[in-house]
Amino acid sequence: MEIILKQDVENLGFKDDVLTVKPGYARNFLIPQGFALLATPSAKKVLEENLRQRAHKEAKLIEDAKKTAAALASLEMKISVKAGSGNKLFGSVTNMDLADQLSKSGHTIERKFIQILGGSIKTVGRHTAKIRLHREVIIDFAFEIAAEQK
């Protein structure tokens, strides 16, 4: 069954993608949740016209995402947290903590666009996270977790 995505869906596709999925997945989940609509010939024509009009705006969004990526590449981030013996943290550092630190430094990025390998960090040291600024602009962001001084 062919569908058109109304918004980004994790592990499936991005907004305005035309995809073929199993009919049950489309009828029972994607369409009722408002994530997709049926790809009828008229819906495809409307989508083509919208994409044509949006092409110029999309180029500006990509340019802005690349500027943000350059700013993040030069940013040195150090997060201080409580740690015990053996460099193990009390708790963990997640994408939400990283998003908060980025917003304090002036870069507002939603936490759902930040992906830390393994989901959370539980040790002191240097780590990297993937940050998706745009569907075509994904960067590896390096940061450091340090033990809080008592």
Q: How far apart are CA 41 and CA 63, in angstroms?
A: 32
By CB atoms closer than 10 A (0-12, 13-18, 19+), residue 98 is buried
Does 50 lie in the same domain as 28? yes
Kindly give the confidence (pLDDT) of every residue in the chain, 150 residues in length, as a single tens digit, with 9 standing for 90 and above: 999 999 988 889 988 899 999 999 999 999 999 999 999 999 999 999 988 888 888 888 899 999 999 988 888 889 889 888 888 888 889 999 999 999 998 888 988 899 998 888 999 999 999 999 988 889 999 999 998 876
The HSE-up count of residue 34 (CA atoms within 13 Å, CB side) is 0
Q: Residues 147, 81: contact at Cβ < 8 Å?
A: yes
What is the total count of domains within the chain?
2
Does 140 lie in the same domain as 91? yes
Domain of residue 8 covers 2-67
Does 116 lie in the same domain as 75? yes
Q: State the pTM of this model.
A: 0.68
The distance in angstroms from the start CA to the end CA of the chain is 59
